[in-house]
Amino acid sequence: MSDHPPRSTEIDTLLTELSPDDPGHPVQDPAAGDAGGAGGGADGPDDDTSPSPLPKKRKRGNALTEWLVVVAVAVGAALMVRAFVLQQFAVSGYSMISTLHDGDRVLVNKLSYRLHDPRRGDVVVLKTLEGADERDLIKRVVALPGETVEYRACVLYIDGRELVEPYLDPAVVTRPSCGTDQIPLEVPDDQVFVMGDNRAGSKDSRSLGPITYADLIGRAFVVIWPAGDWRWL
């Protein structure tokens, strides 16, 4: 006989060691483990992660920061609009009577001549020009590049034909209050000939010469002051 125990005895011993009934090797219930991990168990640490309320002082600080940002954006937008789009100008003097009066305020579109060339009849604001007595002159475009302009005896001629000017006040522009005559002059390229509606009281292209496009700030299109006298130009 062999001195070694039967092979079946070795297998029984191994099964006994791996048996779930072995009190030395308890088997954990997966469901219980998950519940403990998820729920935290009675013996586990307190996992309450709900945020604590922010201090009132910090909330006030955040609100103040938001308002400062809003104000800064609004001011920046206003400056951008004023610089590149719209700007108001005050009329000084009487050269545009009766269309405009001293103290009127007009709104000027500064984008107009970036989009298209000046047009006859436009009321325009000019940059300060050498020889001008005023800043930001406001005049009317009466002749365009390539046209021959002439003014005599209160009548404006374009290429030899009388120009009808419905915007003039007959009580203001009438003989002998016609102002300085203009001998025939051809307007150069990229320039315009401008005059005031009060021909006897305006310093304009008759003395300053044609105005380059670069010297046009923009087109005045509406009177916004006095408040009760809003009107389109």
| Structural Rg of the chain based on CA atoms | 44
Minimal CA–CA distance to 135: which of 215, 227, 221, 223? 215
CA-to-CA separations, 186 to 18, 120, 159, 220, 230, in angstroms, rounded: 114, 15, 9, 25, 36
Active site residue ranges = 95, 139
Tokens of 92: 């000084």
Give the Cα separation of 148 and 161 in Å (integer): 10
Give the Cα separation of 114 and 101 in Å (integer): 28
Terminal C-alpha separation, the chain? 130
Tokens of 98: 């009766």
| Sign of the alpha-carbon dihedral angle for 72, 127, 191, 142 | positive
Tokens of 173: 């522009």
CA-to-CA separations, 24 to 10, 18, 27, 29, 33, in angstroms, rounded: 20, 10, 10, 16, 19
DSSP letter, residue 229: G
